[in-house]
Amino acid sequence: MSPYPALVAAGFRRWSTYRAATAAGALTNSVFGAIKAAVLVGTVTSAGASVAGYDPLQAATFAWTTQAFLAPVSVFADDELARRVRTGDIAVDLARPVDPQLAGWATDLGRAAYQLLPRGVPPLVLGALLTGLAVPASPLPYVLGVVSLVVGVSVSFAARWIVNLTAFWLTEVRGVLLLYTVLATTLTGLSIPVAWFPPWMATLAHSTPFPSMLQTPVDVVLGRAAGLGALRLLGVQLVWLAVLLGAGRLLLAVGARRLVVQGG
């Protein structure tokens, strides 16, 4: 029997124990959602009621939805794996009868599954009360949106896995983690829609996996990309997922050869 479904459940249970942190995070997401919605709506209104296809209500909906997806996608970098590499605990992971990358991926999906409701619903409820939400009337965008969100979470995990593996070669990874967080905050579409970027910056963003983490799930679930357009975006997500997982496996194999664990 495959252990990975059990690891998904374990990830869900682990994160469900941090209830106070979850409540604080939901409040923070909601407050920043209100601030971001006000800024984006003000920008669109001052620009003549439309920016890159977004009217004021759509801009507000984008703000609330990105805040709802922020925690499940885990846009910001963590250093859990890097700390295990630095302490040598990664040797225990390599000795287990499960694939370390697949185990980490399964656990992260469990984390995201838990955080989707308590961290995602409050910003959407507040948004519906304060500004209203521009949401699709048909069920298909929601179905495709769930698929896109799962892939987006997976792309985020694969990218964070690679960043953490730099600990095999670096004695301090905080700089790398900070650089990743700055890039992710900008290029995922968390701050403003990627469609609002200058052309050169939009091209730069789309040459990276970052829009596939957050901007794509938001576009799909809100129906901004529909039909073949939505399927094309899902295809781009899957390509980035395959590339990042492959690169992560290669880095782990190379890094494991450098691993030295002292002690008996």
CA distance 17 to 78: 19
CA distance 153 to 111: 10
The per-residue pLDDT for 260 is 60
Average confidence score pLDDT of the chain: 92
Task: Look at residue 48 and tell me whether its pLDDT is greater than 60.
Answer: yes
CA distance 73 to 115: 9
Task: Look at residue 264 and tell me whether its pLDDT is greater than 50.
Answer: no
The per-residue pLDDT for 61 is 96
The per-residue pLDDT for 229 is 92
Task: Look at residue 114 and tell me whether its pLDDT is greater than 90.
Answer: yes
Give the mean pLDDT of 218-223: 95
* pLDDT tens-digit series, residues 155-172: 999 999 999 999 999 888
Task: Look at residue 258 and tell me whether its pLDDT is greater than 80.
Answer: no
Residue 51, phi then psi, degrees to nearest 5: -135, 115
Give the mean pLDDT of 46-54: 91
The per-residue pLDDT for 205 is 96
- What percentage of residues in the chain have a pLDDT greater than 70? 97
Task: Look at residue 261 and tell me whether its pLDDT is greater than 70.
Answer: no
- What percentage of residues in the chain have a pLDDT greater than 90? 79
Task: Look at residue 71 and tell me whether its pLDDT is greater than 60.
Answer: yes
pLDDT range class, residue 95, cuts 50, 70, 90:
confident
The per-residue pLDDT for 263 is 46
The per-residue pLDDT for 1 is 63
